[in-house]
């Protein structure tokens, strides 16, 4: 359905105002405003269609902004951010245009990502390299420390999993996933905390990991994303991107998973040793240098990611075929965000700008060739 549009994606404009690497781009609910955060510690609200700045302000962070989101249903006047200083901050845009910022909570170490509840816009979660997951409610200003993510048994080199990414299932906002410095994506249900606060919260209800990566202590995860059908994208550092359906979880007992794991299999295989269908793998890009996200795109028919080679990659979800590769940064593409309603993308990276991609090319782009070999051997 979207193939012709994807093949005609072209660079429409560059948004230039940040004076640091761009780590975060996201849209408001309507999609007419783009918000970005960068190493310069400033938050910028853009009219992306005209390329003009609507507002730029100092976030109050002391180090690089790693995530900035407009809070839904606030008339674009509330923005929440997290950063390399570990702080989680709240910015209020007043009627006069003045911006007031305040500290909501803190992580020990970098706080990489936050995720807004898809049903309750005033609720969001954060995760950080301290392994901590926090729950915030802007109506009360409460910050609740939910748990610290624990490593698997026998991994003595760390006391926590250093978390880099978090995502909420849009079909079931009670559930969310976190991932970071090991091979597992952990699924949690917040109702376990709400309704049984007398017991410890922090035990996952499910784990996701390709069979051949179970027990691999050399990989980590940098990006997570849910589709509107609860499909789960997981982007591994030093490896590939995988697409899981809900029935591909490995259960709640992580140590049992390790104790009974099968022998490592060929990662090019689409079947697990026990014949259980495995996740689809998306290959060609390189994810080593930065914490990269991953996104669904085009009615969830496509998947997009940045790469260490400065390119943006787009795959067909159905068959994992690489259909587009575009030069998007002089060095590394960190983040790609799909527009909520139209077929366009925003990307950011080491370059000090945001690039807007729209299907405006006069001719279709040729299919990529030999790009896997180029990027996988940088």
Domain CATH code at residue 275? 2.130.10.10
Number of independent structural domains in the chain: 1
- Helix residue ranges per DSSP H, the chain: 3-7, 191-194, 254-259, 371-376
Contact 60, 101 (CB under 8 A): yes
- 185-189 vs 302-306, strand pairing mode: unpaired
How is residue 153 written in tokens? 């048994």
Q: What is the pLDDT at residue 299?
A: 87
How is residue 109 written in tokens? 């170490």
Residue 258 phi/psi, 5-degree rounding, is -70, -40
CA distance 309 to 279: 25
Identify which of 225, 247, 210 has the alpha carbon closest to the alpha carbon of residue 302. Answer: 225
CA distance 79 to 213: 37
Asked whether residue 180 is assigned to any structural domain, the reply reads: yes
Contact 37, 43 (CB under 8 A): yes
Asked whether residue 270 is assigned to any structural domain, the reply reads: yes
Contact 291, 308 (CB under 8 A): no
Asked whether residue 94 is assigned to any structural domain, the reply reads: no
Q: What is the pLDDT at residue 263?
A: 43
Identify which of 192, 89, 193 has the alpha carbon closest to the alpha carbon of residue 141. Answer: 89
| C-alpha separations of 247 from 206, 255, 279, 360 in Å | 10, 19, 10, 39
Give the burial string for 346-363 (b: 16+ CB within 10 Å, else e): bbbbbbbbbbbbbbeeee
SS3 content of the chain, % helix, strand, coil (to 5): 5, 40, 50
In 3-state terms, what secondary structure has residue 190?
Answer: coil
Q: What is the pLDDT at residue 376?
A: 52
How is residue 142 written in tokens? 């409460």
Low-confidence ranges of the chain (pLDDT < 50): 262-265, 267, 269-273, 377-378
Residue 219 phi/psi, 5-degree rounding, is -115, 160
Q: What is the pLDDT at residue 194?
A: 63
Asked whether residue 371 is assigned to any structural domain, the reply reads: yes
Asked whether residue 188 is assigned to any structural domain, the reply reads: yes
Contact 176, 169 (CB under 8 A): yes
Q: What is the pLDDT at residue 196?
A: 55
| C-alpha separations of 203 from 114, 131, 216, 304 in Å | 20, 13, 21, 31
Give the burial string for 306-320 (b: 16+ CB within 10 Å, else e): bbbbbbbbbbbbeeb
Residue 262 belongs to what domain range? 3-16+149-376
For 83-131, the pLDDT digits (tens) are 999 999 999 999 888 999 999 999 999 999 999 998 999 999 999 999 9
Q: What is the pLDDT at residue 95?
A: 86
Asked whether residue 36 is assigned to any structural domain, the reply reads: no
pTM of the entire structure? 0.91
CA distance 349 to 254: 35
Contact 301, 310 (CB under 8 A): no
Asked whether residue 105 is assigned to any structural domain, the reply reads: no
In 3-state terms, what secondary structure has residue 211?
Answer: helix
Distance, CA of 281 to chain centre: 17
Q: What is the dihedral of CA 181, 184, 190, 196, to 10 degrees?
A: -100
Asked whether residue 119 is assigned to any structural domain, the reply reads: no
């Amino acid at each position: 359905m979207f193939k012709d549009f994807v093949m005609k994606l072209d660079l429409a404009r560059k948004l230039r105002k940040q004076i640091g690497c761009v780590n975060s781009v996201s849209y408001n609910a309507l999609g007419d405003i783009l918000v970005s955060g960068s190493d310069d510690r400033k938050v910028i609200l853009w009219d992306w269609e005209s390329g003009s700045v609507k507002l730029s302000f100092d976030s109050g962070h002391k180090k690089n902004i790693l995530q900035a989101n407009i809070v839904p249903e606030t008339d674009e006047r509330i923005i929440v951010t997290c950063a390399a200083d570990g702080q989680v901050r709240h910015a209020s845009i007043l009627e006069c245009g003045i911006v007031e910022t305040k500290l909501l909570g803190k992580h020990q170490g970098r706080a990489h990502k936050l995720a807004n509840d898809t049903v309750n816009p005033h609720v969001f979660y954060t995760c950080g390299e301290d392994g901590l997951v926090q729950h915030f409610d802007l109506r009360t200003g409460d910050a609740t420390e939910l748990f610290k993510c624990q490593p698997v048994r026998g991994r003595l080199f760390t006391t926590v999993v250093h978390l880099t990414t978090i995502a909420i299932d849009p079909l079931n906002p009670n559930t969310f996933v976190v991932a970071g410095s090991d091979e597992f994506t952990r699924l949690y249900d917040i109702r376990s905390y709400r309704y049984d606060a007398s017991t410890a919260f922090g035990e996952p209800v499910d784990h996701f990991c390709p069979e051949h990566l179970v027990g691999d202590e050399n990989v980590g995860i940098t990006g997570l994303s849910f589709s509107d059908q609860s499909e789960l994208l997981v982007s591994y550092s030093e490896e590939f991107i995988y697409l899981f359906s809900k029935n591909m979880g490995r259960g709640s007992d992580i140590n049992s998973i390790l104790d009974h794991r099968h022998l490592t299999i060929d990662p090019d295989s689409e079947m697990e040793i026990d014949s259980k269908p495995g996740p689809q793998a998306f290959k060609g890009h390189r994810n080593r240098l930065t914490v990269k996200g991953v996104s669904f795109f085009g009615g969830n028919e496509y998947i997009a990611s940045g790469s260490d080679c400065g390119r943006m990659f787009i795959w067909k979800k159905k068959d994992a075929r690489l259909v587009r590769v575009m030069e998007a940064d002089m060095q590394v593409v960190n983040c790609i965000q799909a527009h909520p309603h139209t077929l366009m993308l925003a990307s950011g990276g080491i370059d000090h700008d945001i690039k807007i991609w729209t299907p405006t090319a006069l001719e279709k782009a040729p299919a990529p060739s030999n790009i896997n070999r180029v990027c996988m051997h940088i």
